[in-house]
Amino acid sequence: MRYFTKQQGQKEAVPVDLEPLGNDQFKITVGATTYQVDALALEHGTLSMLVDGQSYNVEFEENGDELGVLLRG
């Protein structure tokens, strides 16, 4: 599935391809970089993600047809 993302301050959106691999694992390609991600859904719309050995808590906020993502504050 393809999404588009724009970081705060960016003018152009970057394509993000998301491919489920099963067992809470995903292959995510952002622009030209691919990551294998382990993701676990937590309470209140938060995900715990393990990317390249680093752990992140990711929060989501829906706003109409857009989805805000808070990562690293």
In tens, the pLDDT along 10-50 reads 888 888 999 999 999 999 998 889 999 999 988 877 889 99
Quote the pLDDT of residue 13: 85
- Nearest alpha carbon to residue 37 among 13, 21, 61: 21
pTM for the full predicted model: 0.71
Taking the C-alpha atoms of residue 21 and residue 24, their distance in angstroms, rounded to an integer, is: 7
71 residue type, one letter: L
* Confidence band of 73 (pLDDT split at 50, 70, 90): low
| Residue 7 clears pLDDT 90, i.e. is over it | no
6 backbone dihedrals φ, ψ, rounded to 5°: -140, 120
